Amino acid sequence: MLQRIRNALEASRAQRAGPEEVAPAVRTMDAYGLLLGRGDRPMLRRMKATAQGRRLLAERHDILAIVSDRDFLRSLPDGSLGREYCRFAEENALYPEQLAKEVRDARAPSGGFVPESTPEIAYLHDRYRDLHDLWHVLTGYGTDMAGEWAIIAFQTRQVGYHSMAVMAFANLLRNAIPNRLDLLATWLRGRRRGAKARYLLAEDWERWLPMPLEEVRRELGISEPPRYRPWNYPPSRASAIRA
């Protein structure tokens, strides 16, 4: 336990030195995941609760190949989930295949996968990563920090990712108090929406991508995107973190 605490603190220091880099963020999340718990068992239990989830686990269905196929996504009907996701990804320069490579490189000591995991758990964490930006489109949250906290609230409520929820909420609190208490409401709304929606990790996204976005939201129990006030770290804060 003491070694895990030391590992988490060292990873946190490295992340503060490079707050915009993927590798330190991944190593910090993994270190705190081993310390506080990732929620692997509830994630796997919910996946195995449906025939669809069991099939995806057995096949190791590769969602990354689909969400990174921009030619396929552009060919889908306008207004469909897949076409709207492609537009969102292109507007924000989001490349899931690039992120996956950077995450695997950061996890090279554990074979490119989340540490201390079975093949099933490693697959679920990869799937969770690869669907993150698609779920931005489904939920209507942007890529500003307020939107990122909201989507993390949604996702961690879905899958029970304890360490990620704790770390994100602690970060949110530091910035919400005393001037932006509405960030707390945005977080709590994200949690409620995640609780009411179907278990998205076990969904067949090849089925949903060609369908109209509003219809997909309705079928999956995702409420209409709420209004929230975007927020990002001020430039002075980002410079101070780097220093």
Least confident piece of the model among 9-18, 115-124, 163-172: 9-18
> What value does the mean pLDDT take over residues 94-112?
96
Alpha helices in the chain (DSSP H): 2-17, 22-36, 40-48, 51-59, 63-67, 70-74, 81-91, 96-106, 119-139, 145-159, 162-176, 182-196, 205-208, 213-220, 235-242
Tokens standing for 60?
Answer: 């190791």
pLDDT value at residue 19: 65
With cut-offs at 50, 70 and 90, classify the pLDDT of residue 241: very low
Tokens standing for 199?
Answer: 């278990």
Q: Is the pLDDT of residue 12 over 90?
A: no
> What value does the mean pLDDT take over residues 189-195?
97
> What value does the mean pLDDT take over residues 174-185?
91
With cut-offs at 50, 70 and 90, classify the pLDDT of residue 9: confident
Instruction: Name the amino acid, one letter, at 62.
Output: D
pLDDT tens-digit profile of 47-98?
Answer: 999 999 999 999 999 999 999 999 999 999 999 999 999 999 999 999 999 9
**CB neighbours (10 Å) of residue 210?**
16
Give the bridge partners for 80, in sequence order. Answer: 212
State the chain's mean pLDDT as an integer: 92
Tokens standing for 146?
Answer: 């307020």
